[in-house]
Structure 1
Amino acid sequence: MDIEELIGTLDLGAKTRLLTGTDMWSLPALPRIGLGPLVMSDGPIGVRGERWSPGDPSIALPSPTALAATWDVELVRRAGRLLAQEARRKGVHVLLAPTLNLHRSPLGGRHFECFSEDPYLTGEIGAAYVEGVQEGGVAATPKHFVANDFETDRFTVNVTVAEGTLREVYLAPFERVVRAGAWALMSAYNAVNGTTMTEHRALQRDLLKDEWGFDGLVVSDWTAARSTEATADGGLDVAMPGPYGPWGAKLEAAVRDGRVAEEVVDDQVRRVLRLALRVGALRPVPGSPGSPAALASAPGPASTSVPDPGPDPDPGPGSGTGLKVAPRAGGDVPIDGVALAREVAARSFTLLRNEGGLLPLEGVRSVALIGPGAAQPRIMGGGSAQVYPDRIVSPLEGLRGRGDVEVRHAPGTDPRIRPAPLAVPCRAVFLDAGGESLGEHPLADAEARWVGRLPADVDADRLGAVEIRGTYTPEMTGSHLFSLVGAGAFAVRIDGEVVFDGFVTSPGGDPATAFLAPPEHRLTAALTAGVPVELRVRHLTAASGGMAFVSFSLGHAAPSPGDDATIAEAVATAAGADVAIVIACTTPEVESEGFDRTDLALPGRQDELITRVARANPRTVVVVNAGSPVLMPWLEHVPAVLLTWFPGQEAGAALADVLFGDAEPGGRLPTTWPLRASDVPVLDVTPTDGEVVYREGLLIGYRAWERAGRVPAFWFGHGLGYTTWSYDSVAVTGTTVTVAVTNTGGRPGREVVQFYLAPPEQDPLRPARILAGFSAVDAAPGQTVITTVYLPERAFQVWTERGWRTVPGEHTVEVGRGVADPRLSATVTVTG
């Protein structure tokens, strides 16, 4: 089957219909040419599928910051293969991940969803993620192209940034994943230098497609395409979601009127069909000439017809110039998602401090497990990164599951602004306008969510309301708080009595606000311990154009004696245990898509809790359960600090492994952690008159910290293990660097050997050093390991008005355990 021949069989209407969604998540099928629907789904820690619902559970891996903290490309590649397996299980062809935006400021609301402050580390981890997903026959979609590094006014903000800064910093990870063979890319909401990204011809067409040779598909972020001609000519290929929007019939009319050339549409269709071939959504039609085949070279009419590999080929490695169809069912060895989630979590955990070797815990008989994250950890950030796993192992469950240590639990304080959904099994009842049931589906708790499609057995055309029904038996007598979260018309009944009947309105202009930061209405009810009550929450809603948006919940908080009493209880519990472990966490109101953070403090009274527990028990371990940096005013008063990021569904199991030494904390910081917010060189993310200017140029992250002469709490690349290492020798051949390291401790261990490159001459406007390579090695006690890295050409280059220029002279390569901990150095000489 020749793509050009297929395009030639399509009329203009058929072509333009292929370029926008039939619904929230899929492009249309065209059976007469063998094209099935192309289904897309959010990631990046799991695959939601077309139904964003607890009824369709997903494996939940650790957050992208955690993936980057492993500094292990092969482990990330394995995670990508698992995501591809999940995507195939759910009928998904295109995974909308990974996020390649940078940690420009720790206030960025989606910091947890990005990999690192460093473009090189982001690019290498991102490339491994892309390769792993695409090896499984599923397209990865790196996003958000480009400079979408904060959330405030993200739909309208203009980012002003110099071309050299774009090239060397913000575009660099995208260039790397294009070289790795990404099959799709997502265009961002924001504007860059005055042009909205979905219309940005210079970046999307001239640079991405022409200069870099990207032969994949550019899809808009959802609702980011707001024009017809400008987006089509600007290099966008698919506008999502559909069927409404600026394309479809409007694009067809623009072509017929001569406002958009039909050749532009042909190239867009070519890219859609090429992607469909790659993911197995385009198949032979009986009687048609030829069959779907792998593309063997660069894009264009001359390279879209190659020999047929056969009707059911084995999948091969993904590449930028090759194509494979999705693996046949049963053709892969299944990946154990639970085991991999646990392994990735442990390998990402970053030991920041371990005075006196408190960790791993040995000879411990009793543990006081304290803090809001002990029983209810934050396993993921909010927004499009959310999935619903079928299990979550809390730290409390993980430690109690060992069975060889007594675990005494005290929450201490609750920093959440909103109560969590009522934790009792419920059911969602779908109703028509007359109140007749259209179907029922079980819920794990009092949260209902279907975004995109309703359950298959529910007639969407008849939908008039969705009702959560459940029975709650309180354990305490008193005034219970109920929190209705969602936007629209609601009625709440408790034991048949209507306690609310009205509207809850959603402020703000971001259309995602309804599920990213939905409004709340609070109710109270006097309940008696042991006496069950029936709860019903009805939400008036309807599906439109086949698309559903159901997102609401009923939160609950039982009567509480207050933080003063619960903190005092936690302190007493800590004083009587061999070791105190405090699980401190951020909340959904702090880290999520749709808004930025306002400060770096742990929410609520957690700092006070940690300080008082540490006074009561000098053997205190603080576990920081956060996706981005938090301030630690108690740092010098606790002997051990372990960062677990957002650790995914196996959080507690992995934590028990690391605390007790069954696994080593393998993480190294992918971003610098400040001691004080005032020290952060690049902090503000608030637009001024609709604009954010990247005045700092190339200097973000550790690059900025070094040039500013400031000392953070913990530098980029920092992380401790359970053994010690010596750096023995370094040798350079050309731009190849070989290092010998020895495990000098008494335990097996893993070391991340890091390579930083300094130019021959220092320029205060340029970084003093940049990360140019890294290698993770494992060694037994006393074992010496030799590792070699190849420093990339780009590490020796700078962007000028004439393009890339190699800086000649003697560059210094420093090898060590972090940017602030060099152990060896050597000279690398290059010619211009």
Structure 2
Amino acid sequence: MAPLTSLVLVSLLAQPFLASPVPDAESDLSARSALPADYQSPPYYPTPPGGWMPDWADAYAKAHAVVSNMTLAEKVNLTTGTGLYMGPCVGQTGSALRFGIPNLCLQDSPLGVRDTDHNTAFPAGITVGATFNKELMYARGVGLGEEARGKGVNVLLGPVVGPLGRKPRGGRIWEGFGADPVLQAVGGAQTIKGMQSTGAIASLKHYIGYEQEMSRMSSVVSVGYSSNIDDRTLHEMYLWPFAEGVRAGVGSLMTSYNDVNGSACSQNSKLLNDILKDELGFQGFVMTDWLGQYAGVASALAGLDVAMPGDGAIPLLGDSYWGSELSRSILNGTVPLNRLNDMVTRIVATWYKFGQDKDYPLPNFSANTADQTGEIYPGALLSPIGVVNQYVNVEGDHNITARAVAREAITLLKNDQNILPFRHNDSLKVFGTDAGPNPNGPNSCSDKGCDSGVLTMGWGSGSANLPYLVTPQEAIGNLSNNAKFYITDTFPSDVVASPTDIAIVFINADSGENYITVDGNPGDRLEAGLNAWHNGDDLVKAAAQKFSNVVVVVHTVGPILMEEWIDLAPVKAVLVAHLPGQEAGWSLTDILFGDYSPSGHMPYSIPRSESDYPESVGLIDQPIGQIQDTFTERLYIDYRHFMNANITPRYPFGHGLSYTTFTFSSPSLSVVTPLDSEYPPARPSKGSTPVYSQKIPAASEVAWSSTHFTRIWRYLYPYLDFPQLITAADTYQYPDGYTTQPKPAPRAGGAQGGNPALFDTAFSVQVQVENTGSRHGKAVAQLYVALPSSLGLDTPPLQLRQFEKTKDLAPGQSEILTLDITRKDLSVWDVVVQDWKAPVNGEGVNIWVGQSVEDLAVICEVGGKCSMA
């Protein structure tokens, strides 16, 4: 292959990276549309083996001892799902029972254990991001992990840090933490640490460039879109939260459905072998999204470790790209045995790493039915019947965490005349179906595939059953004896308003995953755009015509336009409650009635018009041919774009008001680790990795004649008929650039997440935050950096790099917050050198601290002093 440094560079921001299309004789999807010019890069083979990180050494040693004694069938069994609906979970691997390794249960979702009972429905990721509270991010992760473990889930499929939120109408942006890579990174890393502290394995997803729902998947009749991303944009934006997740020690990672630069993510050797497993030093295992494997040999060689749910191009036929076909590929030599050994070792090492060999429970629920007894293998034509649900209650006291997250996320955008908080005897008139329940029951719509009642989460695999739901109607009714409810989205004609009445209008905007269409929206907000659903804008305007005091409460998956009513004089206050989960009502009344001051901040900007966004971030609906979605806006999404284009949004990223006031003072900047060179010091050398015999196993190890059990039709097994007749493949068309010669270790690597020197604290900023108001409250200090032009690259005016939240401060009380900045925080990705480049000694860097990207009270000039802006 040609080294990256020999590629022709494009100007502007960076050389596009990629993986050119990977042809595979097995795949029906080898044909790809022509890529835009310059979006190409060399393939990267072979897969770097795992096991060289010191803190994974014990787990890999245990795995090596086991894998060394496994048969071919046992190895293949652990890499391949058993098939769709072939077990209690949404996906499960085969087992290796001789070594105590059961079928590993993989289950959604990022906000709770999906398709089960007696679980907690936590607030969604976007809500967690709005808290800007690292402790709550971690606590929610612990709750998710405890519930996954309690249900017998080995791998809980979350957190989500992709999509990043590039497309404001994108269907699944609510599953992540916000439209900024650092906010996503911190939310993801804290969640991972919390989850995995319980022994459950987190699965960071979706890797990478998965920014819209429509045309996301490839199949026998279509090809998913290609996200075309240049190298610098990839590293500085979309890869950033994945790097932090790997640095946090995440055990697994899920690829996305789409292509990146023309190569499917699940068989993209550049993404998996080079960037993830070499540069970022990922030690766990890589899995596909469900039915997101599009080839057999090509995906194995490109770095895939687990195929989920195991089926081939058409599910429920009993066919697989792996399973028995992977056994065949080992016997005929097309897939090297050392690649299979690494795949299995990564899986088993992760199982050991998180202590799942020690009293970890088996699944006690079924994702397929709520009945106590049912089919054990629903995907089979004939299945044995047994107890499939034990109704184990795993909720514990997680409702406390869920309520705290939902409450601290609530973002006060406007509060004219201090209309909030309410008094308990205020005369309230409440409008909108979003204040009430789903008339058919909180879980009546499969995977939340409807917008009825208060919006607690979006729809799709990222949802979970609600064990109960406290609606705003119920909570307000319990706290006020002077509230009247109109649970309708059409303003009633007979409403009488007095001068002392306050109208509370509830509106929402929904979205979700592509396999469900709601009100004409196929996951993405195609029909609804960025407007409120169910004529919400008209409901607010009608209330404003009748009442002199209107408070708007918004539950939304992402940006929502407010221009039709935000400047109307009666609209005194606006609260964005995001997606609150089961505690929707209580978390809201905690704020409405002043038991707590709001402390949420916007995890994305709210524009004045959708046309304020760059055209390239719009949805692409193209019925014929592969969509080429080229990220021409590069680094400039959300607030980076608005600032660069000199566009003032309605509410900026990070904005959030309180019932009290805060002042920042006494800022100081100290040098911790001097930036005495442009590039980090040389990376540490890799440690040793497991070594196995390269002798091809005996064909008898995968012969059906050697088994002694009754086959389940459609269940995916590693066995073959007459494997002894398989001979070495005379010819096989390997992917372009395929080699078994290991590559030199990339200079930007060296540890999980990259060169450990990248994460040395370069500077530390301290600032005193004082509550100068009359109520208790929490403040958020957001730190942004402005990089100097001396780096020779176009960089956004400001970029979030750190944040901290105070404790609850009483009036007059203060707290000193410390915000640390790493070498990487002050670096850009050098596409020629292939490393992170920082200004020596931080010369020319300006550091800003404040309460939003447009409300910055402190400026620190590196090499100079800090002052009040």
State the TM-score bracket (shorter-chain normalisation).
0.7 to 0.9
Asked if residue 131 in structure 1 is aligned to residue 54 in structure 2, the reply is no
Cα distance per residue 1:462-519 (max 9 Å; x no partner): xxxxxxxxxxxxxxxxxxxxxxxxxxxxxxxxxxxxxxxxxxxxxxxxxxxxxxxxxx
CA apart distance, 1:630: 1.0
Asked if residue 754 in structure 1 is aligned to residue 779 in structure 2, the reply is no
Tell me which residue corresponds to 1:817.
851
Asked if residue 151 in structure 1 is aligned to residue 213 in structure 2, the reply is yes
Segment drifting more, 180-189 vs 581-590: 581-590
CA apart distance, 1:356: 0.9
Asked if residue 691 in structure 1 is aligned to residue 628 in structure 2, the reply is yes
Residue from 109, 123, 129 that aligns with 1:43: 109
* 1:382–1:593 contact (8 Å) kept in structure 2: no
CA apart distance, 1:655: 0.9
Aligned residue for 2:668, secondary structure, equals strand
Asked if residue 729 in structure 1 is aligned to residue 659 in structure 2, the reply is no
CA apart distance, 1:593: 7.7
Asked if residue 804 in structure 1 is aligned to residue 842 in structure 2, the reply is no
Separation of aligned partners in 2, 1:128 and 1:591:
36
1:378-777 matches, within 5 Å, as 378-402=455-479, 404-413=480-489, 563=490, 566-569=491-494, 572=495, 575=498, 578-587=501-510, 589=518, 594-598=523-527, 599-632=529-562, 633-637=564-568, 638-681=571-614, 683-686=617-620, 689-734=626-671, 735-761=763-789, 765-777=794-806
* 2:134–2:804 contact (8 Å) kept in structure 1: no
Asked if residue 362 in structure 1 is aligned to residue 423 in structure 2, the reply is yes
CA apart distance, 1:283: 5.4
Change (3 A) 1:365 1:698: closer
* 2:787–2:795 contact (8 Å) kept in structure 1: no
Amino acid at match of 2:63: I
CA apart distance, 1:653: 1.0
Tell me which residue corresponds to 1:486.
none
Tell me which residue corresponds to 2:336.
261
Aligned residues: 625
Change (3 A) 1:591 1:271: farther
Amino acid at match of 1:278: K
TM-score (norm 2): 0.70
Cα distance per residue 1:584-613 (max 9 Å; x no partner): 112462798844434111123221110111
Amino acid at match of 1:399: I
* 2:297–2:335 contact (8 Å) kept in structure 1: yes
Change (3 A) 1:152 1:721: same
CA apart distance, 1:335: 4.9
Cα distance per residue 1:781-808 (max 9 Å; x no partner): 1112111111121121111110211123
Asked if residue 18 in structure 1 is aligned to residue 78 in structure 2, the reply is yes
Tell me which residue corresponds to 2:258.
190
CA apart distance, 1:576: 7.5
CA apart distance, 1:687: 6.0
Separation of aligned partners in 2, 1:774 and 1:781:
22
Tell me which residue corresponds to 1:330.
none
Residue from 317, 320, 325 that aligns with 1:250: 325
Aligned residue for 2:817, secondary structure, equals strand
Asked if residue 374 in structure 1 is aligned to residue 435 in structure 2, the reply is yes
Change (3 A) 1:710 1:284: closer
Cα distance per residue 1:293-346 (max 9 Å; x no partner): xxxxxxxxxxxxxxxxxxxxxxxxxxxxxxxxxxxxxxxx98511221111110
Amino acid at match of 1:151: E
Tell me which residue corresponds to 1:345.
406
* 1:743–1:782 contact (8 Å) kept in structure 2: yes
Segment drifting more, 709-718 vs 582-591: 582-591
* 1:368–1:577 contact (8 Å) kept in structure 2: no
Amino acid at match of 2:194: G
Unaligned stretches of 5+ residues in structure 1: 286-332, 414-562
* 1:383–1:593 contact (8 Å) kept in structure 2: no
Amino acid at match of 1:103: G
Separation of aligned partners in 2, 1:672 and 1:716:
4
Aligned residue for 1:791, secondary structure, equals strand
Separation of aligned partners in 1, 2:640 and 2:520:
25
* 1:707–1:764 contact (8 Å) kept in structure 2: no
Asked if residue 61 in structure 1 is aligned to residue 117 in structure 2, the reply is no
Amino acid at match of 1:401: N
Residue from 39, 50, 62 that aligns with 1:2: 62
Separation of aligned partners in 1, 2:68 and 2:858:
61
Change (3 A) 1:206 1:662: same
Tell me which residue corresponds to 2:363.
none
Cα distance per residue 1:261-302 (max 9 Å; x no partner): 0100000000111122134443599xxxxxxxxxxxxxxxxx
Separation of aligned partners in 2, 1:81 and 1:591:
37
Amino acid at match of 1:683: V
Separation of aligned partners in 1, 2:519 and 2:191:
27
Separation of aligned partners in 2, 1:626 and 1:719:
16
Amino acid at match of 2:493: A
* 2:413–2:651 contact (8 Å) kept in structure 1: yes
Separation of aligned partners in 2, 1:4 and 1:741:
52
CA apart distance, 1:136: 1.0
Separation of aligned partners in 2, 1:798 and 1:68:
25
CA apart distance, 1:13: 2.0
- The structure, 1 or 2, with the larger RCO (C-alpha pairs under 8 Å, 6+ apart) is 2
CA apart distance, 1:381: 0.4
Aligned residue for 1:58, secondary structure, equals coil
Change (3 A) 1:349 1:12: same
Change (3 A) 1:241 1:374: same
Tell me which residue corresponds to 1:217.
285
CA apart distance, 1:765: 3.7
* 1:151–1:596 contact (8 Å) kept in structure 2: no
Tell me which residue corresponds to 1:81.
142
> More strand by proportion, 1 or 2?
1
Separation of aligned partners in 2, 1:672 and 1:585:
17
* 1:349–1:644 contact (8 Å) kept in structure 2: yes
* 1:93–1:279 contact (8 Å) kept in structure 2: no
Change (3 A) 1:94 1:577: farther
Unaligned stretches of 5+ residues in structure 2: 1-60, 218-223, 312-318, 361-393, 437-452, 512-517, 672-762, 865-869
* 1:412–1:568 contact (8 Å) kept in structure 2: no
Separation of aligned partners in 2, 1:825 and 1:336:
42
* 1:29–1:38 contact (8 Å) kept in structure 2: yes
CA apart distance, 1:748: 1.1
Amino acid at match of 2:783: F
Cα distance per residue 1:679-708 (max 9 Å; x no partner): 123531216652100001111110011011
Amino acid at match of 2:829: W
Amino acid at match of 2:635: L
Cα distance per residue 1:20-67 (max 9 Å; x no partner): 11234211222211112211111111112xxx25xx242111111100
Asked if residue 235 in structure 1 is aligned to residue 294 in structure 2, the reply is no
Separation of aligned partners in 2, 1:189 and 1:275:
24
Cα distance per residue 1:714-756 (max 9 Å; x no partner): 0000000110011112110011111012110011110001111
CA RMSD, Structure 1 to Structure 2 (Å): 2.2
Tell me which residue corresponds to 1:505.
none
Separation of aligned partners in 2, 1:63 and 1:5:
40
Amino acid at match of 1:106: P
TM-score (norm 1): 0.73
Separation of aligned partners in 2, 1:284 and 1:115:
33
